[in-house]
Amino acid sequence: MKNTAKPESATLPLQDVQIQDTFWSSYMDLVHQVVIPYQWDALNDRIPDAEPSYAIHNFRIAAGVEQGSYGGLVFQDSDLAKWLEAVAYRLATHPDPALEEIADETIQFIIQAQQKDGYINTYFTVKEPDKRWTNLHDCHELYCAGHMMEAAVAYYEATGKRAFLHAMCRFADYIDTVFGPDEGKIHGYDGHQEIELALVKLYRVTGEQRYLRLSQYFIDARGQQPNFFIEEWEQRGRTSHWVPGEFKPDPQYNQSHLPVREQSTAVGHAVRAVYMYSAMADLARLTGDQALAEACRRLWNNVTKRQMYITGGIGSTRIGEAFSLDWNLPNERVYGETCASIGLIFFAHRMLQLEQKAEYADVLERALYNNVIGSMSEDGKHYFYVNPLEVWPDACAKDPELPHVKPVRQKWFGCSCCPPNVARILASLGTYIYTVNNDTIYTHLFVGNKAKVHMNGLDVLLKQETDSPWNGNIRITVTPERAAAFRLALRVPGWCKEQPTLRINGQAHTTLQVVDGYCLIDRPWQPGDVVEWVLAMEVQFIAAHPFMRANAGKVAIQRGPFVYALEEVDHAAPLASLSINPTQLLTARRDASLPGEPIVLEGILHQEASAHALSEDEPYHVFGTTSAPTLMPLRAVPYFMWGNRNPGEMAVWIRTNHNDY
Amino acid sequence: MKNTAKPESATLPLQDVQIQDTFWSSYMDLVHQVVIPYQWDALNDRIPDAEPSYAIHNFRIAAGVEQGSYGGLVFQDSDLAKWLEAVAYRLATHPDPALEEIADETIQFIIQAQQKDGYINTYFTVKEPDKRWTNLHDCHELYCAGHMMEAAVAYYEATGKRAFLHAMCRFADYIDTVFGPDEGKIHGYDGHQEIELALVKLYRVTGEQRYLRLSQYFIDARGQQPNFFIEEWEQRGRTSHWVPGEFKPDPQYNQSHLPVREQSTAVGHAVRAVYMYSAMADLARLTGDQALAEACRRLWNNVTKRQMYITGGIGSTRIGEAFSLDWNLPNERVYGETCASIGLIFFAHRMLQLEQKAEYADVLERALYNNVIGSMSEDGKHYFYVNPLEVWPDACAKDPELPHVKPVRQKWFGCSCCPPNVARILASLGTYIYTVNNDTIYTHLFVGNKAKVHMNGLDVLLKQETDSPWNGNIRITVTPERAAAFRLALRVPGWCKEQPTLRINGQAHTTLQVVDGYCLIDRPWQPGDVVEWVLAMEVQFIAAHPFMRANAGKVAIQRGPFVYALEEVDHAAPLASLSINPTQLLTARRDASLPGEPIVLEGILHQEASAHALSEDEPYHVFGTTSAPTLMPLRAVPYFMWGNRNPGEMAVWIRTNHNDY
């Protein structure tokens, strides 16, 4: 058996969850048939008119099988690592010898590129071999190492092959000789957090305590005074890898402004932050460190209750791809990087393993069903790095403050961290559905699947069938290997405002025991017991807290896990001239004209009659001097689908024309 | 007589207009008693806790009376020039020997700093004497020269003293030997337009055609291919004065992307643009160049009908302090530089001299009464560089995209172009009130004053008395030296939506001849004839064109020339949680609690009851689940007064809660 998960892990091994779902199976197929091959082409610089990756090129040079010079940014290795991780997740559930052969060959190059001491990094190997570990702030060596470790763990778990894992253990062993509190070691840590969570995974599959301790060291050292990055910057002569001139590191940028246990507000680069918080939650769980757990809770609350877009996007400013301040969530100049929402999912997933509260799963679901899958086009070959909630294409093209906001998805990026991140999270969807704690099976996501749970010496088969996410009917067949008492915990999603209907073997249960957002079902289970769990999935108009100034007087539309959006192709520009009466009932209708027959929402909008009737030579006019608004049909599509038809304006938040509360 | 204006100038000499006005006289006094002395201290680096200017310091070094090194930005000379120009305007109407002595001494240093060939620029004289004219794109040599010429012209016109004028003519003569189409000259022009309009002034007082031709040359050469600045950049080795590394000039930034006669859309740095358009309008008038006049009209329309804030602010983006695109006028991240609105006034004033259309005066008034005077604090010692229409102080402090937006006015700036620009435009207010064309006296602004007009051999005294801008009663006593027929043209302001009342010597005239926004009164005038001109000054709710997406669903409040604003000190934060019913009648009330007893506007606002009742842990909630809005008194103050009390939020545009049009 390939499952090497240790007992403290509360997730199910990926190969024990087979997804069979009306919504997600097509994503799984797309990842296999399109995304992984397309990204392989991208990593090999074979996409016409796209920015080259150089990732394979760099490894071939470092491995000595190709001549040439290093190409791309300093962290291109990580794109290949994430792609390999995605491949591993695919192979875990769907063996594919041809794909595995490509992966094996690629891993061979990586191992060939490994230096005698264990070091792997094509930039420093090829381009600046004497500069290793001299600019941790800018150069992502440990970040790339972390991604390679994640890939190696996934590949080992998927295939049982140990070569890649062994190489990465050698690298980790070497890193352990370089970094740490001991004299003679570098008392530092990476400019981009990632290795911390990767070392926890390496510890999980190897049981090697040193890896856990090294992760702890990196987490504990960060933010201690004097600041490592300032000292490092002084030592290397105040230079920067990225820009000419002196550019003093800002400790907030990579969350080294305070010891992590003293942090309460999410600051700085959003991806760095959530990758770090994920490792903190891992360590809090594995070590029982309550101060660390408390910091995780504070940071979770700040991120998700003060600084998160309704789509699950985080990082509101392009400057530093960063958090800015509480309640500051401008829509048109949002950043909302895809990787940041993926990191938020990692954080949520780990908080769920630390403590079982449905709010973590709510956020996980929100980010996954909106920001993350919305970042990829229907064809699997185009991606958003920035995920806006409001788009005016002319402004994206001409306003120098909006160069990051693209009205259409792109083929690839010079900095292409997001596309392979999407590939790996989609390919590993199965791990996010359940967790198991003691004698409880938690169901977090409603996704059709067959899963095998091993719990206290008991094997339980679960078969989840559902018409979710379009509707809220879930049917779980529970088949323990023998009759046995245990607890099944079903999430009551935050969007479900009515009490769900629960039937067991056809019999309704009206008194539900709901704790922390989970309905707890304790009973002696017989093989083949059927649980029906019906969630009301009403269309909801959502208002933002008034402190969130950008959304004052506006509503968003939500149904189940999906946030909806208006597109110009269904309406008229400017979308800002449209308003909605949120006391109307919208009609939810399957739309066969769109791929996947999504549920679109239909109703009525008001359009300012003046929009085209007014002279364009009158920028300002006296209110009340134009004609009455006209009515226009509303057709809202799920946010994740926007931008797959004619490019144009898009808006998530819509002005209300009715102010009764 | 000190009036040296040539006949083609349609403005009145400043010394012929004595302002005596309930609103503006206090500004005149403030400029004299506070602004000029305060800025003199600033230029001498005597303001505690303010960024130093170095302007006097640099001139003393260049003049050889002080040792030291150059301080400040490359264009600090211009701040002193603008201050001297302001002093000159003050002296023109109010002799002040002590002030004149300071000015004379300062001018002496400037003349001492002049090089043998006529060159004046402290940066290049002190710091890089061998680099003269090598980086016109970045280094503002001709810009500083232009400001010195403007100051010299003003000082000569005010005092009759020729030394400064003579020095600047020598400089202009030298520049004429360096720049131009002839072989051996630099076929270039400045990176920051300014000298073009200054040379027109120099031509006006000297009658020297070469200065007009040089101005024409600079205007005609700009935007020709190949682009001068790209070639210059290549020639100097692709360096920049401002940033390390290669930084290729963007021709749009300084409007050198196209020959000026082919430009239709305002692009690039807003101050550069409007200074250039001003010179273009001057040249179109003086040379009869119709293609140039047409370009001015196109650019005027684009600036004022597509890219101007309701406050008369222009330049919507901080990136390049620039125009962005039509209809893109975000409120919270606005730039709206003070200097840009001052330049817009220059442009409007010159268009009024080219052709008498009230729309030019409407914009001039809008920019003056809102953006420009709003940029200075009531105490005359604090200034805005950026003039926002919406302020959330926390975001200004923490959002890295808003570092330019200050919630309170500043003592001085490292780049302090704006404060002395305000001083010079306020001190020269008298020139903006009237223009004279053939036998017509145009009254553009309603400001109490006594003016002397010389027209076709006839002297006419005008006495304007008014309670404007707070109310719309104007009384003009017309006293020709003898009975004579001529035309008086009175502006019908754009904000006056009812037909004004006209009485002559007490007798009402109900049929008005209004052409291009001016009421034309043709009659034989007797000494002492009294014209009464009564403008309805209603409170207006103003809506923006729907293409202006930032203001969708919002109104601004305007009364007469004033745009109004809401401040947190009178209401509650967040201001975004307040909304207004624009069908209500607001009460206009003199408020003795505020300096100058302005008219404040009072009415009712709705405040979302949820603003403080909602849990801050619920960023999103289902619409309709909170309590009804509560009522709150509205108290709107004139925009120009905002930020003079407790710092806090401010908003010009207010959400409506009533959508009947």
pLDDT tens digits, A565-603: 999 999 999 999 999 999 999 999 999 999 999 999 999
Q: How far apart (Å, rounded) are the C-alpha atoms in residues A640 and A570?
A: 16
Catalytic residue among B150, B194, B321, B608, which? B321
B417 is catalytic: yes
- A616 and A569 together in one domain: yes
- A522 and A630 together in one domain: no
What SS3 state is found at A349?
Answer: helix
Do B419 and B372 form a contact (C-beta atoms < 8 A)?
no
Amino acid at A516: D
Name residues of chain B where pLDDT drops below 70. 1-9, 610-613, 659-661
Note the pLDDT of residue B659: 60
User: A212 - beta bridge partners?
Assistant: none
B209-221 and B195-206 helices cross at what angle (nearest 10)?
160
| CATH number, domain containing residue B440 | 2.60.420
Note the pLDDT of residue B611: 53
Domain hosting residue B545, numbered range? 539-656
Catalytic residue among A417, A418, A532, A608, which? A417
Q: How far apart (Å, rounded) are the C-alpha atoms in residues A110 and B325?
A: 48
User: B488 - beta bridge partners?
Assistant: B441, B521
CB-CB neighbours of A2 under 10 Å? 14
| CATH number, domain containing residue A527 | 2.60.40
- Contact yes or no for A661 and B548 at CB 8 A: no
How confident is the model over A169-206, as pLDDT tens digits?
999 999 999 999 999 999 999 999 999 999 999 999 99
Of B305, B543, B574, the CB nearest to A617: B305
Q: Which residue of B has its CA nearest to A315?
A: B399
Q: How far apart (Å, rounded) are the C-alpha atoms in residues B335 and B388?
A: 7
Number of residues that this document lists for chain B: 661
Note the pLDDT of residue A5: 34
- Contact yes or no for A324 and B399 at CB 8 A: yes
- Contact yes or no for A620 and B544 at CB 8 A: yes
CB-CB neighbours of B336 under 10 Å? 32
Note the pLDDT of residue B612: 56
Q: Which residues of A touch B577 (CB under 8 A)?
A: 546, 552
Residue B488 lies in a domain: yes
How far apart are the CA of A281 and the nearest CA of chain B, in angstroms? 21
Domain boundary (A502, A534, A566) is at A534
Amino acid at A312: G
CB-CB neighbours of B92 under 10 Å? 23
Residue B107 lies in a domain: no
Q: How far apart (Å, rounded) are the C-alpha atoms in residues A382 and A371?
A: 14
- Contact yes or no for A659 and B620 at CB 8 A: no
Note the pLDDT of residue B101: 98
Note the pLDDT of residue B629: 84
Q: Which residues of B touch A617 (CB under 8 A)?
A: 301, 305
- A514 and A555 together in one domain: no
**Comparing C-alpha atoms, which of B276, B243, B241 is closest to residue B257?**
B276
pLDDT averaged over chain A?
A: 95
What SS3 state is found at B426?
Answer: helix
- Contact yes or no for A609 and B661 at CB 8 A: yes
How confident is the model over A310-337, as pLDDT tens digits?
999 999 999 999 999 999 999 999 999 9
- B572 and B520 together in one domain: no
Residue found by looking up tokens 């595995």 in the block: A100
- B501 and B572 together in one domain: no
Structure tokens at B120: 């004046």
Tell me the pLDDT band of A610, cut-offs 50, 70 and 90: low
Which residues in B494-516 are b (16+ Cβ under 10 Å) and which e? bbbeeebbbebeeeeeeeeeeee
Domain count within chain A: 2
- Contact yes or no for A661 and B623 at CB 8 A: yes
How far apart are the CA of A645 and the nearest CA of chain B, in angstroms? 23
Residues 6+ apart with CB under 8 A from B58: B70, B71, B72, B76, B77, B122, B123, B126
Q: How far apart (Å, rounded) are the C-alpha atoms in residues A354 and A295?
A: 13
Note the pLDDT of residue A661: 44
Of B318, B549, B617, the CB nearest to A576: B549
Q: How far apart (Å, rounded) are the C-alpha atoms in residues A562 and A554?
A: 18
Note the pLDDT of residue B2: 34
Residue found by looking up tokens 């503002």 in the block: B140
Of B316, B540, B546, the CB nearest to A577: B546
- B465 and B511 together in one domain: yes
Do B43 and B83 form a contact (C-beta atoms < 8 A)?
yes
- B528 and B607 together in one domain: no
Residues 6+ apart with CB under 8 A from B168: B120, B145, B148, B149, B152, B153, B202
Structure tokens at A328: 């500051």
Note the pLDDT of residue B624: 84
Domain boundary (B504, B534, B564) is at B534
- A555 and A640 together in one domain: yes
Task: Kindly state the average pLDDT of the residues A93-120.
Answer: 97
- A508 and A587 together in one domain: no
The larger pLDDT score, comparing residue A614 to residue A36, is at A36
- A498 and A547 together in one domain: no
Q: How far apart (Å, rounded) are the C-alpha atoms in residues A479 and B39?
A: 85
Q: How far is CA A3 from CA A14, A204, A582, B36, B79, in A?
A: 9, 11, 50, 81, 74
Domain boundary (A513, A534, A555) is at A534
The interface predicted TM-score (ipTM) is 0.94
User: A600 - beta bridge partners?
Assistant: A589
Tell me the pLDDT band of A613, cut-offs 50, 70 and 90: low
Residue B580 lies in a domain: yes
pLDDT of residue A91 exceeding 80 = yes
- Contact yes or no for A542 and B324 at CB 8 A: no
Q: Which residues of B touch A639 (CB under 8 A)?
A: none
Q: Which residues of B touch A627 (CB under 8 A)?
A: 661
Q: Which residues of A touch B400 (CB under 8 A)?
A: 317, 319-320, 322, 324
Residue B639 lies in a domain: yes
- Contact yes or no for B543 and A622 at CB 8 A: yes
- B484 and B587 together in one domain: no
Q: Which residues of B touch A576 (CB under 8 A)?
A: 546, 549, 552-553
Residue A624 lies in a domain: yes
- A525 and A547 together in one domain: no
Q: How far is CA B634 from CA A341, B544, B588, B637, in A?
A: 41, 21, 12, 10
pLDDT of residue A519 exceeding 90 = yes
**Distance from the Cα of residue A321 to its chain's centroid:** 15
Residue B635 lies in a domain: yes
User: A465 - beta bridge partners?
Assistant: A475
Residue B589 lies in a domain: yes
Tell me the pLDDT band of A7, cut-offs 50, 70 and 90: very low
Residue A348 lies in a domain: no
Q: How far is CA A208 from CA A214, A285, A352, B336, in A?
A: 11, 17, 24, 60
Give first-to-last CA distance, chain B, whole Å: 58
Note the pLDDT of residue A617: 87
Do B79 and B144 form a contact (C-beta atoms < 8 A)?
no
Tell me the pLDDT band of A245, cut-offs 50, 70 and 90: confident
A519 is catalytic: no
Tell me the pLDDT band of A438, cut-offs 50, 70 and 90: confident
